[in-house]
Structure 1
Amino acid sequence: MSFSVFSQTKKELESQRKKFKSEIIKLNKLLFDEKKKEKNALEDLRDIKQKIDVRNKLISTINLEAKFLSKEIKTNEIKLEKLHKNLADLKADYGEMIYKSYKSKSQQSRAMFLLSSQNFYQAYKRLEYIKQYASFRKKQGEDIVIQTDFIENIKDSLVYQKRVKDTLILSEKNEKQQIETDKKKQENLITKIKRKEKTYKRDLQKQIKAEKRVANKIDKIIRDEIARANKLARAKLKSKSVARKKNEFILSPEAKALAAKFELNKGLLPWPVKEGLVVRKFGKQAHPTFPGITINGTGLHIVTSNGSNAEAIYNGEVLNILLGSGGTKNVLIRHGNYITSYNNLENSFVKKGDKILTGQKIGKIFTDKISKKTKLIFVLFKNTARLNPASWILKR
């Protein structure tokens, strides 16, 4: 049982290592490949910090994997030592048995051994003994062959394990060198930011206020859409006394079923992009550079490849399409009493009232001309309450 758990843990570490390596490749592709016309030191610093964090996780995983291999190698070396001793004992016993057999159990002595029996029963028992002795001798020889093969397998396993460990140690060394390079860039950016700290802080505060205004505007539009949808629902039901709470959708049986299915898929819903990297998480969080400044992630900020499209994460209906100050679009899709928001689109392939299917392309994501980043802001609501989208989509 302990060996099974040990093997499973090693497999998990190997899987983690591959995941972090893949994430670093994705980071380099999505955040560092494109040459920017104008550099934003704060953004660059955040990107480098994210890459350093992933590299540190990768190094920790490599260290754990190397420790497991060291333990495995030590166990196999002890096992090999015992096997060699057992094999030596087996060979010694077998040699002694063959020698005694040669001295005392010639064909003539075997015949005499049988003929000197006092009765038929004793002769039968002596014959059985001779057969068993011959069978035992054969088994001893087979055991020596099996034990020798087993030792060779252990030796091969040790050679492979030592080679893997050497590769891991070399990989760790390379990752540490990369971190040192990234840390030098990080220090240069921090120095640059400190020279213009007031300007960067002022711009940051403006950005935070602008994001808050946009969030409030979206909140109001959603409240208005809920009120409009509820008015239509009451008219359809021909009743003004339909039980409801403030700012919550009145759900038809179909809408209830859709919302229930949406909830059942929590943690299993697809990403709104084919390939993406989260650069800002959901919720309030301290700014990575300026202590005392808090930023609020209304959803997930996902950087993706240039030319990518946003895709619906579930069946639904287009609730509204909002126009941003820079001409970008935000498509709101209703799934019962849940709403998904696909913000920062260059254009939209859908219109208000359209029925949408899971995976359907919603619109092309806008690529910033200066930063060269293609970023989708993905937000999830239940009625008017914002939820953490990371808890609803598949983990990558």
Structure 2
Amino acid sequence: MINRLLCLCLACFVWSLAALAQENKLIKELQNKRGDLQKQIAEQETLLKRTGKDVGSMLDGLASLNGQIEERKRYIQVINGDLERIDREQASLNRQLTRLRAELKDKKKKYEASVQYLYKNRSIEEKLMFIFSAKTLEQTYRRMRYVREYATWQRMQGEEIKRKQQELTNKQEELRRVRAAKESLMAEGEAEKKKLEEQEKQKKDIVAGLRRKQKSLQQELARKRREANQLNARIDKLIAEEIEKARKRAEEEARREAEARRKAAAANKKGDDGTSSSASGKLSKAAPMERFNMNRADRTLSGSFAENKGRLPVPITGPYLITSHYGQYSVEGLRNVKLDNKGIDLQGKPGAQARAVFNGRVAAVFKLNGLFNILVRHGAYITVYCNLSTATVKQDDEVKTGQTLGEVFSDGADGGRTILHFQLRREKGKLNPEPWLAR
């Protein structure tokens, strides 16, 4: 019985240490995650450049600032979520402390009672009288064992009180660290909110400046639309050609497979009755050939690409900001200013490289307005990388996930602003790339 009690106490102690380690792990995990986000925010701040006075520079500056504001808001949300987790952890620690204090109090009370009992029966004579006053030999043995086990139990109670006291001390220290982490996080959250307020004010100033240049603004937007339409028309044409090539490859594969089946059936028929296979051939010709948009290899690659939704790497190396999102949207604070993006725009540092988001084959490399644009096919999916100053791949090259495709153009006339335009298509259909990327 004593051995079982000892094992139970030891198990409880080990469990409490494991719980303490887990709690430490939670705080460390939150700190590491925020550390990565802090580093990312700091790197993104280096992408914000002084905004010039011309409309084009002001628009680009506004886009970069909007991207930074979105990232800072996202970081503040993370901080708030971490605070909620810490609050729950703090409440759990308080409940555990209450339980530990009650258990320690109960054990001290029992130990005190046992000490008082031993004090009253402390002499050797009293113990011997208790043992030898037994009426039978069996009762004598039981009383001897009782005296011995009671002394062992009392010693274990003392040791358990020490362990409980240490566990209580550890839990109090853990609670202190959690409270300190919460206070530090709250201060960090307030600092981020102040930075956000400053950036919101800066944004209002830029918007006010653009309002005063409404005519020039509309002209600049019209120019950007013409360039975007020209680029998208070229992309659409190349994608249509690529789809047609894929269809022909699929039909050729289907034709070969049908021919192989026909020959196999004819051979089996001839082996059965020794007759000609002309009837079988006519039957095969009469059967409609299944049409495919993709061959087997393309279908396999499409499935793999789709399974990795939300896990694809960001298509630009180094720190980045998403400065323009997918779809049609209005610019906050500006009237009659609507943007229509067929993909997303990512701003990086000068020297940033475009990189393939998944295994595939280069479908096309073309130049427009002096810059390279690359299409990579992943089965039914096609990714498009635009605004490159160099291209390190050529048509029909096989590429791997993360492989660099070329350097993103840095505009020296605009402070080295480096923008990668990225699109995602499923055949001719346009998709929002953001949900597909790991961020």
TM-score, length basis structure 1: 0.83
**What secondary structure sits across from 1:105 in the alignment?**
coil
Quick check: 1:198 aligned with 2:198?
no
Which AA in structure 2 matches 1:274?
Answer: T
Does the CA-based 8 Å contact 2:384-2:423 persist in structure 1? yes
Counterpart Cα distance in 1 of 2:329 and 2:196: 25
Cα distance in 1, alignment partners of residues 226 and 36 from structure 2:
36
- Mapping of residues 1-396 of structure 1, within 5 Å: 17-18=34-35, 20-29=37-46, 31-32=47-48, 34=49, 40-77=57-94, 79-81=96-98, 83-227=100-244, 250-275=293-318, 276-325=320-369, 327-371=370-414, 372-393=416-437, 395-396=438-439
* Aligned-pair CA distance for 1:37: 6.4
CA apart distance, 1:364 = 1.6
Q: 1:38·1:370 contact (CA, 8 Å) conserved in 2? A: no
Superposed displacement of residue 263, structure 1? 3.6
Q: How far has the Cα of 1:303 moved from its partner?
A: 1.6
Q: Aligned-pair RMSD on alpha carbons? A: 3.4
Report the 3-state secondary structure (helix = DSSP H, G, I; strand = E; otherwise coil) of the residue aligned with 1:370: helix
Q: Alpha carbons of 1:120 and 1:315: their partners in 2 closer, same or farther (altered >3 Å)?
A: closer
Deviations 1:304-336 (A, max 9, x none): 2211222223343332222212x0111222333
Residues 149, 120 of structure 1: CA spacing in aligned structure 2 closer, same or farther, 3 A cutoff?
A: same
TM-score, normalised to structure 2, is 0.75
Mapped to 2, the partners of 1:284 and 1:36 lie a distance apart of 25
Structure 2 CA distance for aligned equivalents of residues 178 and 197 of structure 1: 29
Is the CA contact 1:23–1:54 (under 8 Å) kept in the aligned structure 2? no
Report the AA paired with residue 370 of structure 1.
A
Secondary structure in 2 aligned to 1:178?
helix
Aligned residues between the structures: 384
Identical aligned residues as a percent: 28
Residues 354 and 408, structure 2, Cα contact 8 Å, conserved in 1: yes
Helix, strand or coil at the partner of 2:412: coil
CA change 1:111–1:43 in 2 (3 A) is same
Amino acid at match of 1:374: T
Contact 2:50/2:61, CA 8 A, preserved across alignment: no
> What CA distance in whole angstroms lies between the structure 1 residues aligned with 2:91 and 2:296?
64
Counterparts of 2:179 and 2:346, CA distance in 1: 40
Where does the alignment leave 5 or more consecutive residues of structure 1 unmatched?
none
Deviations 1:145-172 (A, max 9, x none): 1111111111211221122122112212
SS in 2 for 1:122: helix
8 A contact 1:310–1:376 mirrored in 2? yes
Structure 2 residue ranges without an equivalent (≥5): 1-18, 260-287
Q: Output one character per residue of 1:11-56: Cα deviation in whole Å (capped at 9) or x when no partner.
A: 8865764454244223213x22x55666622332332233233333
Question: What is the CA–CA distance in structure 2 between the aligned matches of 1:64 and 1:388, rounded to whole Å?
Answer: 27
Higher helix share: 2
Which amino acid in structure 1 is aligned with residue 374 of structure 2?
V
Q: Which string of whole-angstrom CA distances, capped at 9 and with x for unpartnered residues, describes residues 234-254 of structure 1? A: 789699x9765xxxx853444
- Work out the CA distance in 2 between the residues paired with 1:86 and 1:337: 64
Instruction: Answer yes or no: is the 8 Å Cα contact 1:20–1:54 preserved in 2.
Output: no
